[in-house]
Amino acid sequence: MPTTVSWTRPLGGFSCWLTLPSSISVTELYLSAIARHIAFVPGDVFKATPDGHSHLRISFGGEQPERITESVATLGALLRERSYQRPLNPPALRDCVPIV
């Protein structure tokens, strides 16, 4: 992962929470990851109110260690690519209708 990304070390369970630089669009990252057959959950779905950061949750309970390693490396590469691109300007979360 790029040095601008922080993550939790799971103490139990099968998920990890990543905090990204606010300049990275989680939506664009998600679309790029899906194109490479990697899925994660955008962190905004777990937040009652936005906190000004970009987050995502990755779960790893159902995959082989080799696939996890490969997928996390790909996600890290996508994050490095995104750090040099102009971010998408999605509407503010407060302007969206939650239909999750």
What CATH number is given to the structural domain containing 46?
Answer: 3.90.1150.10
CA neighbor of 16 nearest in space, from 54, 44, 57: 57
| Residue 11: inside a domain | yes
Write down the pLDDT at residue 82. Answer: 76
- What is the rounded distance in angstroms from the CA atom of residue 36 to the CA atom of residue 74? 8
For the cut 60, the answer to whether the pLDDT of residue 86 exceeds it is: no
For the cut 70, the answer to whether the pLDDT of residue 60 exceeds it is: yes
- Contacts of 42 by beta carbon, 8 Å cutoff, 6+ apart: 26, 27, 30, 55, 56
Buried b vs exposed e over 34-61: b needs ≥16 C-beta within 10 Å?
eeeebebbbbbeeeeeeeeebbbebebe
- The verdict on pTM exceeding 0.75 is no
| Residue 96: inside a domain | no
Domain of residue 12 covers 6-87
| Residue 97: inside a domain | no
What's the total number of domains in the chain? Answer: 1
